[in-house]
């Protein structure tokens, strides 16, 4: 190479470098100054993509001082492309949108174009919310509270390259705070069955029947009289309130016909539930017992029956899947029968200890079962429990398991998760605003740091009260030891003593003081404080503090203003009047007619009409009776044998326990009722049968149930006998007489 050639090459290289540099600077300038950027929507955009464009327009106009026109089709200049189109696919290197995973999103800047696109139907809408959160710091805390940045000046096109597909294709954060607000549900990337998300917001994954559908498909009212053999045999008798007889070929045929009829009526259904009822009364007939013995366990029988239905479904509806439950007696994986390819198994964690992650030593049995199901089922869903159903408001320190559990699910092939939280109490459930937001965030991306997310929420939502709220959260999170048997049906905060509860109440009072000048922030803190304040009242020693009525009424007022519908999953147990009576009953239980059995000892008595009724108007009745305390008593007919009269949350201490009871009938024989004390943490403690002869007539007889140490974990109950000679039983009062140990 001669000198002249070398010089020419150097000049060419120099000029090319500067031309590239100039082009780069021009491109950067165009990206940096993107005023007048238009939002481009394809001509054939689907409804959620149009909604996505509108949501982006509203968001950007709220942040920037300029307009962002929406254009259908193409336009020159800086642009934000929304949704799937051939032009967008080309800019993304010829992307085939059909290869996107469920709800996958893409946010990518290419030259002077920002692309926001996702899997149909809802991915593009998710991409818009992802941009607002990721790039501009927008936060959708609740359906009623959002954080937006200060108004900015000129819009600049963000430089971003983000692609993400959620690990769970169905994400159900089951809180009324989400379910009742479809717009907020979408912002939380929720797509489950109950939020009723309309089509313009991307819709949701529907499940026909939801769960416990056996009697929905084969109703006893229609079939039991003529075909008792369709239903479970227990103790040699066919019963109409248990499960189906799954070994019966006719049952499988009728099940299949019912499922196909339902699918024909709703041909767009993609998942239909064929699942056991919510009880453990599975069939013990000879045929069912033989099948279980020959194949492995109850899950083998269930899956075999569901497979039969699924094969029929596959023939006519090849795109539809059949879901069933691995729940209680069917939780263990089958030994010999594998689910058909179009069968979904939803494993339920209801018996687990939520004081620790589900893959920890304390939940070893469940963890092993989940791993086995992950290898057995073609598709595995999870039903997880993240609240306390007996009292939604009670503190429930399961915080340390929220993100590890979801990661554990993802690692073992779980593709959908239903996190059953509180439904009805609104924000007064245990830190419910935080729980709903955090659960939804982790369902979308379980790799996130749960503690960091919680801190972000608390600081963003509670303002100046955040330091105290963080302290409350940290104390609560560390208050329980792994292995403490934290279930989802706790009646009290058994892992805390009075001093810890008092400390947490004091923290909440300080938090209120910090935001006393802000009505909205004070409202948020007061709603969060209902949890510990009601726990304080329930744990209070008798006699109570002088201000207990004022504290109780304030919590009920805050709850009512917050829109609380129920305080527990059981509506009869969880309404306002029942909650007031239940919390305050022991504060006034020493009033009324002294029972003869007291013999000078301290006593407490609660009229049965003030206790918990189950199925009032069907199993229980508050009827006039001049012989009863206050002129009314609880009556139960002899048509059932359920624990329909319940007195939960017993006081702490040693007591002799009695029931004042009588029964109808001129010459009754046999037993009239059973009564007992049930330990909600340890099982049945005491139960007695009450002979009819001893309590017949109009006068109440005092029957001793037992002597034992009571606590708020224990519950008194009474059930009638199904006895034709007894017209029904009447309960006046439950009586507790102090019996301190010598």
Query: Cβ contacts of residue 550 below 8 Å, gap of 6+?
Result: none
* pLDDT at 572 (0 to 100): 64
Cβ–Cβ under 8 Å, residues 675 and 717 = yes
> Is 49 in the same domain as 93?
yes
- State how far the Cα of 399 lies from the Cα of 618, in Å rounded to an integer: 40
* CATH assignment of the domain containing 71: 3.30.379.10
Helix 466-477, helix 519-539: angle, nearest 10: 30
> Is 184 in the same domain as 256?
no
CB neighbourhood size of 609 (10 A): 23
* pLDDT at 573 (0 to 100): 65
* CATH assignment of the domain containing 606: 2.60.120.260
- Angle at CA 183, nearest 5°, toward 528 and 426? 25
Task: Please name the helix (run of DSSP H) or strand (run of DSSP E) that holds residue 269, with its range, or none.
Answer: none
SS3 call for 473: helix
Cβ–Cβ under 8 Å, residues 156 and 37 = no
Query: Cβ contacts of residue 79 below 8 Å, gap of 6+?
Result: 37, 38, 39, 40, 112, 113, 114
Number of domains in the chain: 4
- State how far the Cα of 435 lies from the Cα of 385, in Å rounded to an integer: 12
- State how far the Cα of 91 lies from the Cα of 80, in Å rounded to an integer: 12
Query: Cβ contacts of residue 626 below 8 Å, gap of 6+?
Result: none
The structure tokens 């509506």 sit at 571
Task: Answer whether residue 226 is part of any domain.
Answer: yes
SS3 call for 15: helix
19 band by pLDDT with thresholds 50, 70 and 90: very low
Cβ–Cβ under 8 Å, residues 562 and 529 = no
What Å distances lie between residue 120 and 110, 117, 396, CA to CA? Answer: 22, 9, 37
* pLDDT at 263 (0 to 100): 98
Query: Cβ contacts of residue 381 below 8 Å, gap of 6+?
Result: 170, 323, 344, 345, 346, 347, 414, 415, 416, 417, 418
> Is 414 in the same domain as 319?
no
Overall average pLDDT of the 2-20 stretch: 38
Is the pLDDT reported for residue 32 higher than 80?
A: no
> Is 454 in the same domain as 502?
yes
- State how far the Cα of 297 lies from the Cα of 330, in Å rounded to an integer: 8
pLDDT by residue (tens digit) across 303-361?
999 999 999 999 999 999 999 999 999 999 999 999 999 999 999 999 999 999 999 99
Task: Answer whether residue 474 is part of any domain.
Answer: yes
Overall average pLDDT of the 139-143 stretch: 98
Which two structure tokens, joined as six digits, stand for 83? Answer: 């949704």
Overall average pLDDT of the 287-297 stretch: 97
- State how far the Cα of 207 lies from the Cα of 190, in Å rounded to an integer: 15
34 band by pLDDT with thresholds 50, 70 and 90: low
pLDDT by residue (tens digit) across 638-666?
999 999 999 988 888 899 999 999 999 88
Q: Which of 587, 622, 655 is the last residue of a domain?
A: 587
Phi, psi (deg, nearest 5) at residue 111 = 60, -125
Domain that holds residue 579: 168-190+349-587
> Is 134 in the same domain as 172?
no
Task: Please name the helix (run of DSSP H) or strand (run of DSSP E) that holds residue 105, with its range, or none.
Answer: strand 105-110
Q: What is the pTM of this model?
A: 0.86
Task: Answer whether residue 13 is part of any domain.
Answer: no
Task: Please name the helix (run of DSSP H) or strand (run of DSSP E) that holds residue 147, with its range, or none.
Answer: strand 146-147
Task: Answer whether residue 6 is part of any domain.
Answer: no
> Is 217 in the same domain as 309?
yes
How many whole angstroms from its chain centre is CA 540?
29
What Å distances lie between residue 659 and 566, 690, 741, CA to CA? Answer: 29, 10, 22
DSSP structural state of residue 451: H
Helix 450-462, helix 519-539: angle, nearest 10: 120
538 band by pLDDT with thresholds 50, 70 and 90: confident
- State how far the Cα of 53 lies from the Cα of 68, in Å rounded to an integer: 10
What Å distances lie between residue 21 and 11, 28, 158, 267, CA to CA? Answer: 15, 10, 20, 59
> Is 119 in the same domain as 77?
yes
Q: Quote the mean pLDDT of the chain.
A: 92
- State how far the Cα of 363 lies from the Cα of 353, in Å rounded to an integer: 6
- Angle at CA 437, nearest 5°, toward 480 and 563? 95
> Is 328 in the same domain as 217?
yes
Task: Answer whether residue 398 is part of any domain.
Answer: yes
Is the pLDDT reported for residue 24 higher than 60?
A: no
* pLDDT at 7 (0 to 100): 39
> Is 74 in the same domain as 85?
yes
The structure tokens 């963890």 sit at 367
Task: Answer whether residue 20 is part of any domain.
Answer: no
* pLDDT at 741 (0 to 100): 58
- State how far the Cα of 600 lies from the Cα of 737, in Å rounded to an integer: 10
Cβ–Cβ under 8 Å, residues 103 and 192 = no
Q: What percent of the chain has pLDDT over 90?
A: 81
* pLDDT at 643 (0 to 100): 94
Among 71-85, 159-173, 536-550, 592-606, whose mean pLDDT is lowest? 536-550
Q: What percent of the chain has pLDDT over 70?
A: 94
Is the pLDDT reported for residue 30 higher than 80?
A: no
- Most distant pair of Cα atoms in the chain: their distance: 129
Q: Which of 165, 199, 221 is the last residue of a domain?
A: 165
pLDDT by residue (tens digit) across 682-728?
777 899 999 999 999 999 999 999 999 988 888 999 999 999 999 99
The strand pairing partners of 728, in sequence order, are 637
- State how far the Cα of 731 lies from the Cα of 650, in Å rounded to an integer: 18
Which two structure tokens, joined as six digits, stand for 219? Answer: 């109703």
Q: Which of 165, 181, 199 is the last residue of a domain?
A: 165
SS3 call for 436: helix
Is the pLDDT reported for residue 287 higher than 50?
A: yes
- State how far the Cα of 733 lies from the Cα of 718, in Å rounded to an integer: 11
- For the four alpha carbons of 588, 592, 598 and 600, in that order, the dihedral sign comes to positive
DSSP structural state of residue 276: -
> Is 132 in the same domain as 78?
yes
How many whole angstroms from its chain centre is CA 727?
41
210 band by pLDDT with thresholds 50, 70 and 90: very high
Query: Cβ contacts of residue 520 below 8 Å, gap of 6+?
Result: none
* Listed residue (673, 742, 674, 735) closest to 710, CA to CA: 735
> What are the b/e assignments for 192-205, b being 16+ CB within 10 Å?
bbbbebeebbbbbb
Among 2-11, 514-523, 526-535, whose mean pLDDT is lowest? 2-11
SS3 call for 351: coil
pLDDT by residue (tens digit) across 432-451?
999 999 999 999 999 999 99
Task: Answer whether residue 4 is part of any domain.
Answer: no
Is the pLDDT reported for residue 26 higher than 50?
A: no
Task: Answer whether residue 149 is part of any domain.
Answer: yes
> Is 240 in the same domain as 181?
no
Is the pLDDT reported for residue 80 higher than 80?
A: yes
The strand pair at 379-385 and 343-348 is best described as parallel
- Angle at CA 729, nearest 5°, toward 724 and 732? 175
* pLDDT at 617 (0 to 100): 92
> Is 629 in the same domain as 676?
yes
Provide the strand spans (E) within 387-459: 414-420
Overall average pLDDT of the 25-35 stretch: 45
């Amino acid at each position: 190479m001669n000198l002249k050639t070398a010089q020419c090459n150097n000049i060419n290289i120099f000029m090319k470098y500067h031309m590239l540099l100039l082009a780069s600077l021009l491109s950067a300038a165009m990206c940096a100054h993107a005023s007048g950027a238009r939002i481009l929507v394809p001509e054939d955009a689907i409804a959620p993509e149009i909604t996505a464009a509108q949501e982006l327009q509203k968001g950007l106009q709220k942040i920037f001082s300029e307009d962002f026109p929406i254009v259908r089709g193409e336009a020159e200049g800086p642009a934000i492309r929304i949704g799937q189109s051939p032009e967008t696919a080309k800019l993304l290197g010829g992307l085939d949108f059909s290869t996107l995973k469920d709800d996958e999103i893409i946010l990518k800047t290419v030259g002077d174009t920002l692309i926001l696109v996702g899997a149909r139907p809802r991915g593009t809408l998710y991409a818009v919310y992802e941009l607002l959160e990721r790039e501009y710091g927008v936060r959708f805390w609740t359906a009623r509270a959002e954080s937006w940045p200060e108004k900015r000046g000129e819009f600049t096109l963000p430089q971003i390259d983000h692609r993400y597909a959620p690990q769970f294709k169905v994400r159900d954060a089951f809180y009324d705070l989400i379910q009742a607000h479809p717009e907020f549900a979408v912002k939380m990337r929720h797509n489950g069955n109950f939020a009723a998300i309309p089509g313009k917001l991307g819709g949701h994954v529907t499940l026909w029947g939801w769960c416990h559908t056996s009697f929905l498909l084969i109703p006893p009212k229609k079939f039991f009289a003529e075909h008792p053999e369709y239903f479970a045999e227990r103790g040699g008798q066919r019963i109409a309130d248990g499960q189906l007889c799954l070994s019966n070929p006719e049952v499988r045929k009728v099940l299949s016909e019912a499922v196909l009829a339902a699918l024909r009526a709703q041909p767009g259904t993609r998942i239909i539930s064929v699942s056991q009822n919510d009880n453990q009364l599975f069939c013990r007939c000879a045929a069912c017992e033989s099948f279980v013995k020959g194949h492995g366990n109850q899950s083998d029988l269930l899956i075999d029956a569901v497979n039969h239905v699924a094969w029929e479904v596959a023939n006519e509806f090849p795109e539809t899947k059949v879901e069933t439950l691995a729940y209680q007696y069917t939780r263990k994986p089958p030994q010999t029968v594998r689910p058909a390819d179009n069968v979904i198994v939803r494993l339920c964690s209801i018996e687990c200890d939520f004081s620790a992650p589900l893959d920890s030593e304390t939940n070893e049995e469940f963890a092993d079962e989940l791993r086995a199901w992950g290898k057995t089922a073609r598709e595995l869903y999870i039903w997880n429990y993240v609240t306390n159903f007996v009292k939604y408001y009670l503190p429930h320190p399961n915080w340390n398991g929220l993100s590890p559990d979801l990661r554990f699910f993802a690692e073992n092939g779980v593709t959908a998760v239903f996190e059953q939280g509180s439904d009805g109490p609104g924000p007064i459930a245990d830190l419910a605003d935080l729980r709903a937001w955090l659960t939804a965030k982790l369902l979308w991306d379980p790799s996130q740091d749960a503690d960091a997310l919680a801190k972000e929420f608390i600081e963003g939502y509670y303002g100046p009260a955040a330091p105290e709220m963080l302290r409350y959260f940290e104390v609560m999170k560390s208050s329980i030891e792994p292995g403490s048997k934290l279930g989802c049906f706790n009646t009290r905060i058994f892992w805390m003593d009075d001093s810890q509860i008092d400390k947490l109440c004091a923290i909440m009072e300080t938090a209120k003081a910090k935001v006393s000048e802000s009505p909205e922030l004070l409202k948020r803190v007061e709603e969060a404080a209902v949890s510990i304040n009601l726990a304080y009242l329930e744990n209070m020693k008798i006699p109570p503090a002088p201000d207990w009525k004022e504290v109780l009424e304030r919590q009920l007022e805050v709850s009512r203003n917050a829109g609380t519908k129920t305080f527990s999953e059981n509506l009869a147990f969880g309404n306002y009047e029942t909650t007031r009576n239940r919390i305050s009953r022991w504060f006034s239980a020493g009033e009324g007619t002294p029972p003869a059995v007291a013999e000078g000892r301290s006593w407490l008595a609660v009229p049965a009409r003030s206790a918990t009724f189950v199925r009032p108007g069907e199993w229980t009745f508050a009827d006039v009776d001049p012989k009863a305390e206050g002129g009314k008593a609880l009556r139960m007919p002899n048509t059932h044998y359920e624990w329909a009269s319940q007195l939960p949350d017993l006081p702490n201490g040693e007591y002799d326990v009695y029931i004042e009871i009588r029964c109808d009938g001129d010459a009754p024989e046999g037993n009239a009722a059973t009564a007992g004390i049930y330990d909600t943490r340890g099982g049945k403690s005491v139960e007695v049968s009450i002979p009819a002869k001893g309590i017949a007539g109009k006068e109440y007889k005092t029957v001793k149930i037992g002597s034992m140490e009571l606590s708020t974990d224990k519950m008194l109950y009474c059930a009638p006998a199904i006895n034709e000679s007894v017209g029904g039983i009447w309960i006046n009062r439950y009586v507790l007489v102090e019996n301190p140990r010598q």
